[in-house]
């Protein structure tokens, strides 16, 4: 089986999406950049194709908050490239979408109307579920697949509502889905930058110093490795891009940057657990 795969990167026109795409194209993968801004996705796809001298990057407009768009994206990519092997759930809805300074002056309880709360969860947890559900039948049929979910740091989960809560939900779901799919050839893992990242996702009004932020490129190496056959047995793990040393062999870098997804250490606080 060839190492080259077909991947959909949601939020593909954003800074982290672009960085992951530019790293993955080096390995010969064919990519679809799915973004709610289809025109931006088309510009990024055209730029990467030109840089790499390939026609292997496709733009797909669509909103992951809409299940029909998720199904349509997987169907379109399957029609063009033959199949979908990898889903990178990178699209995100952040506080700056509600208030430009929302990353600095956090959203208050009073601001968290049902509509606002729902926007975060429809993109950050419902979207990944629907993308995975759309691609899962083909992955099961071929006995191979990758689901890579972008969550956030634990600090942000406990501080930034409702963004943190929605990403904590995705983290917990990733651990559960990895167990459900164990043994099928389909892996589920988490990749995070490791802190604030210099992308337009954080608006200038947040007044964060870009020179002190992580570069989006830190996400490329762990995602590329997870898409390789070397990571066939890796599932239910979380990798911090900022801790990944690209100068080391991938297995060594993964050992340093990786840990179990979710919070398995909290199991020690359980008093009673139902029999399996």
Residue 273, SS3?
coil
Give dist(CA 97, CA 55) in Å, integer. 33
* Whole-Å CA distances, 173 to 157, 228, 246: 14, 23, 28
Give dist(CA 225, CA 227) in Å, integer. 5
Residues with Cβ within 8 Å of residue 268, at least 6 apart in sequence = none
DSSP for 137-179? Answer: HHHHHHT-EEEEEE---HHHHHHSTTHHHHHHHHHHHHHHHHH
Q: Which of 81, 82, 163 is nearest to 122 (CA)?
A: 163
Catalytic residue among 93, 163, 177, 225: 163
**Is 25 among the residues known to form the active site?**
no
Catalytic residue positions?
Answer: 163
């Amino acid at each position: 089986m060839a190492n080259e795969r077909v991947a959909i990167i949601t939020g593909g026109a954003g800074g982290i999406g672009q960085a992951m795409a530019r790293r993955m194209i080096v390995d010969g993968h064919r990519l679809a950049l799915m973004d709610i801004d289809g025109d931006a996705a088309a510009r990024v796809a055209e730029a990467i194709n030109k840089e790499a001298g390939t026609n292997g990057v496709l733009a797909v407009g669509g909103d992951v908050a809409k299940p029909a768009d998720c199904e349509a994206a997987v169907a379109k990519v399957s029609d063009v490239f033959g199949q979908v092997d990898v889903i990178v759930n990178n699209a995100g809805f952040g506080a700056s979408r509600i208030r430009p300074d929302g990353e600095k002056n956090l959203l208050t309880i009073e601001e968290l109307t049902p509509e606002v709360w729902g926007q975060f969860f429809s993109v950050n947890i419902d979207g990944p579920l629907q993308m995975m559900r759309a691609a899962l039948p083909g992955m099961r049929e071929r006995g191979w697949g990758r689901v890579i979910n972008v969550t956030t740091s634990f600090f942000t989960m406990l501080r930034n509502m409702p963004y943190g809560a929605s990403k904590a939900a995705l983290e917990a779901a990733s651990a559960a889905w990895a167990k459900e799919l164990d043994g099928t050839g389909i892996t589920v893992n988490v990749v995070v930058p490791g802190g604030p990242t210099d992308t337009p996702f954080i608006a200038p009004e947040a007044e964060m110093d870009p020179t002190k932020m992580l570069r989006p490129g830190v996400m490329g190496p762990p995602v590329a490795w997870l898409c390789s056959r070397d990571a066939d047995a890796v599932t239910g793990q979380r990798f911090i891009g900022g801790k990944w040393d690209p100068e080391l062999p991938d297995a060594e870098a993964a050992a340093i940057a990786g840990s179990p997804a979710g919070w398995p250490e909290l199991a020690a606080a359980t008093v009673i657990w139902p029999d399996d």
